[in-house]
Amino acid sequence: MGDTIPVGKLVRTYMKIRAARSELKAEFEEKDKGLTKQLDIIKKALLDHCKETGSTSVRTEDGTFYRTIKRRYWTDDWDSMHKFILEHGELGLLDKRINQANMKQFLEENPDVVPKGLNADTEYVISVRKS
């Protein structure tokens, strides 16, 4: 490997790129925050219009807007929620994803017990820190 780039140069370049990305991200987030505030003001005005007129949708020459209901659910008592879900057999009330840290710990503590259908992907990754 005659034309190999020195690893020190690779690390230096990696850190420069990471710093540039960080600056871009901060700049984007700052600008996006301002635009989001503007959108929130406009959304409130449109919601107020719907409330005042009793409308659920309004068509304009520039577009149509709708007022819909958004509902979210959460719990402050996971023990009771787990019991409720098991009692009613409603596992679909939970998102279908595995807690990565808990599964790793379980498999480390129980190397001979693997759930059927479990898939795993392992890869080496690089972490770079300043010296």
Q: Is pLDDT at 70 greater than 90 in this prediction?
A: yes
pTM of the model as a whole: 0.69
Q: What are phi and psi of 67, to 5 degrees?
A: -110, 120
Cα(74)–Cα(78) distance, integer angstroms:
9
Tokens of 109: 């503590």
**The two three-digit tokens of residue 91, written as one number:** 């596992």
User: What is the b/e burial string over 109-123, where b = at least 16 CB atoms within 10 angstroms of the residue's CB?
Assistant: eeeeeeeeeeeeeee
Looking at residue 3, what is its pLDDT? 80
Q: Does the pLDDT of residue 2 top 70, yes or no?
A: no
- State the average pLDDT over residues 89-118: 94
Average pLDDT score over residue span 23-36: 98
Contact by Cβ (8 Å): 57, 63: no
